[in-house]
Structure formats: C-alpha cells, structure tokens
C-alpha cells in the first residue's frame, strides 16, 4: 500500500528531525527527504550528519559526513576506534535532543547499531534503504527490525521479506527512477561526448572502486577490444568514476598486447551520458546496472571477487540468490514472463571471451535489443510509486505518518 499522498503542512510544528547519512548517495536521499518533509513541517529543524546537498537545505550537520564514508574491511578496521567514539557522541547528543524521529540513511554498519540504542532509549527510528536482504541472509531482516520502527525500501520485493518477520516496511520508490526519463536522448548524449551519431557505441564500466578495477579492469578491456575488432566502426567509451580510477584505467589501456581498431575514449565521469549514448553497455554488477536499465540500454554484466571471499560466502551460505544484477532481480520479483533480460557472467565465468561473446550477441540481434528495452520500460514503472512519481515525497509521507502517530500518543 502506498503511503498517504497529502503534503499539506501539519498544524502542529515538529521542532526537530534527525537524519544520519554516511556517503554521497545518502546525502542525495537525505536532501530529497528534507525538501519533502519541510513542505509538511515548515518550522522543523533538521540535524545529525549529512553532506553538502542536505546542508544547502538548512541541515545542521554536527559532524563531517566524510568521517563515515569508508569502504573496505581494512579501511573500516583502521578507523574503528574513531567511528565508535563518534557513534557514542552522536548517540548521547540525539538522546539529549529528543528529536521527533531519527532517520538513518543507508550506512547499515554504522546506523543500525545507532538506531537500536536510540530505540531502546525511547526514540522513534527509521532506516531508509534496506540492505539487500533478498540476496544475503534473510535473518538480517529480524535484526533490522530491532533497530527501526519502520524500514523504507527502494525495491518492491523487499517489504514482503520484512513482513515475514513482522516488521513494518514500506516501499517508497527508487529516486533514480525519478531522474531518468522513460525515453533517453541518445542523440544529445552522443553530441555531449563527441561521438559520431551514425556509428555503434559500446559503453564500458568496469567498476567505481580500486578493488573492482583490479579484479575486472583488464578483463573488461580485453572483452571490449574483442568486440571492437568484430563490430565495424565501433566507438568504445569508458567513463571513470573519479580521478584515481581515471589513471588506473588509463594505465590498463596503455598495456601492450591489447589491440584497438580505434582508441577507446576515457572520460572523466559522464557515466549517465555514456550509457545513454550506447547501443550496448558492458558493466560490473552493482547500482550501475540499475542506471543502465533506467537508461533503457541492453547490457552484459560481469563480476568477480577474490576466490577466498567467494568461497567463504558460499561456505557460510550467505548468498541466497542465483541471480545478481538488479534488473534480473526485479524482473523475477515482478513476475515478468520470458527470459531474464540481462546476461550475467559471475566469478570464474567472468572472462573476456564470455563477456565479448554476450556483447556481440546483443549487437547482432536488434530484435533482442528491442525486447530488452520494452522490459526495462516495464521495470522502470515498477520502481515508481503512485505519488506524482517522487520517491522523496513517498519517503516523507512514511516518516510523517510515524511522527504523527507518536504525537497523537504523546
């Protein structure tokens, strides 16, 4: 059921709402939520931890969000004492401030423990962005329920999983579904990237982190070179996530033994433009697959982790799915007929030869590409809520409902 759609200001002002975001994607979600909540509670103050987008809307960030933006086990362990100290200080400040609600945005390793202690102290808590309970251990849902009075989910298949554990979870739509048009402008994207309009384009995205480039970079570039050799006039564009990744990919492109009919184009950022410009996208599994789906571009997905990490996950039976890319997960959960829309090559199956073969199959079959685009249009609609298409408004409605229930009791 969709949350209530009213965005009229509430008669009793809420003086304080707390949010805790740990990285850039959380800052984007937090900014959308603040904007929508402010329309309901014009006099509210927003405090906690957030980034520049949230602060631009009047959010008072008590700490620098960069202190939480850590990736990788070794990096987190190296900063663990400081992170634990920060969480203790934040916990004390929030308990003393007694906000109407505390919304933890993603960052589950930091936020779920914080939310649990705040809830034990009598504060209402919301966790915004469910961890991938559909892929990993479902028992995590019960743990999340001990931390949050309500979970806001970006994917429609998640609330039923929480319901099995008696947890209040609401599908609020995915904000990326609001940002992509139903039909992307391929001509404008190619013009922005300086690509020829009348020649085929392959976008290659081997990941946004150093560990991903180490595992996948050479494999993806070898696959792209094979495709370029087989598709006349192919233009290959490789958007880099940041300056460090740009240099790492540039070094891989300069290695001997990789032949290109025409040099691949390495761009600074511009991943969305590269996807929109492409006929086919070759990319690493992750959120980027959802962006390619919303751009309505047929794709081939590959991924591999270290052999030890993969064996441990299998040994502990942590993986609960035999499909990995978000478009395939959504297609299966939505009950769409026909084959899954995305070709996946995982772990030992993720080789340059396999990726190249799958990519070439898409270039050579325009009928299959058209069918995939039609499926992606259906899945785009699945990710939107019936609330003028805005995920921020739906999330605000779910948070406001919890606040108002508490106000009525108090």
The CATH class for the domain spanning 16-173+385-409 reads alpha beta
Q: Are 224 and 204 in contact (CB under 8 A)?
A: yes
Backbone angles phi, psi at 57, to 5 degrees: -100, 15
Taking alpha carbons only, the member of 248, 188, 174 closest to residue 217 is: 248
Comparing 37-41, 265-269, 311-315, 336-340, which segment has the lowest mean pLDDT? 311-315
Domain with CATH 3.40.50.2000 in the chain: 16-173+385-409, 186-382
What value does the mean pLDDT take over residues 345-355? 92
State residue 72's pLDDT score: 41
3 state SS of 239:
strand
Backbone angles phi, psi at 64, to 5 degrees: -75, 125
The domain defined by 186-382 folds into Rossmann fold (3.40.50)
Mind giving me the DSSP string for 104-165? EES-HHHHHHHHHHHHHTT--EEEES---TTTS-TTHHHHHHHH-SEEEESSTTHHHHHHTT
pLDDT, tens digit, 9 for 90 and up, residues 125-170:
999 999 877 655 667 788 888 999 999 999 998 999 899 889 999 9
Query: Distance between CA 114 and CA 125 in Å, rounded?
Result: 10
Q: Above pLDDT 90, what percent of the chain? A: 60
């Amino acid at each position: 059921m969709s949350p209530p759609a009213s965005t009229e200001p509430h008669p009793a002002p809420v003086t304080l709402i707390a949010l805790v975001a740990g990285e850039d994607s959380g800052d984007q979600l937090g900014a959308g939520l603040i904007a929508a909540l402010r329309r309901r509670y014009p006099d509210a103050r927003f405090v906690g931890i957030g980034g520049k987008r949230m602060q631009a809307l009047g959010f008072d960030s008590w700490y620098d969000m960069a202190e939480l933006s850590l990736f990788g086990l070794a990096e987190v362990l190296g900063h663990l004492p400081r992170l634990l100290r920060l969480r203790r200080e934040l916990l004390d400040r929030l308990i003393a401030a007694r906000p109407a609600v505390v919304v933890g945005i993603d960052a589950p390793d930091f936020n779920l423990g914080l939310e649990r202690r705040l809830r034990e102290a009598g504060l209402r808590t919301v966790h915004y962005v469910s961890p991938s309970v559909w892929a990993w251990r479902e028992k995590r849902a019960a743990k999340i329920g001990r931390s949050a009075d309500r979970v806001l989910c970006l994917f429609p298949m998640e609330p039923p999983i929480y319901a099995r554990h008696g947890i209040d979870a609401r599908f609020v739509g995915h904000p990326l579904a609001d940002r992509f048009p139903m039909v992307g402008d391929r001509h404008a994207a190619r013009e922005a990237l300086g690509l020829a309009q009348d020649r085929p384009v392959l976008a290659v995205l081997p990941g946004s982190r150093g560990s991903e480039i180490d595992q996948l970079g050479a494999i993806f570039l070898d696959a792209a070179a094979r495709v370029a050799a087989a598709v006349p006039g192919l233009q290959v564009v490789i958007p880099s996530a940041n300056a460090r990744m740009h240099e790492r990919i540039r070094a891989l492109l300069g290695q001997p033994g990789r032949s290109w009919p025409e040099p691949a184009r390495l761009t600074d950022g511009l991943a969305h433009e590269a996807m929109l410009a492409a006929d086919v996208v070759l990319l690493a599994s992750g959120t980027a697959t959802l962006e390619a789906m919303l751009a309505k571009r047929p794709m081939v997905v590959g991924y591999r982790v270290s052999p030890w990490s993969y064996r441990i996950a299998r040994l502990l039976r942590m993986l609960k799915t035999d499909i990995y890319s978000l478009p395939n997960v959504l297609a299966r959960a939505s009950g769409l007929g026909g084959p899954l829309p995305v070709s996946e090559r995982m772990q030992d199956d993720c080789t340059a030869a396999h990726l190249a073969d799958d990519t070439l199959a898409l270039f050579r079959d325009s009928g299959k590409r058209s069918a995939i685009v039609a499926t992606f249009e259906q899945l785009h609609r699945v990710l939107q809520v019936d609330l003028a298409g805005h995920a921020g408004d739906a999330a605000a409605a779910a948070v406001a409902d919890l606040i108002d229930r508490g106000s009525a009791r108090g």
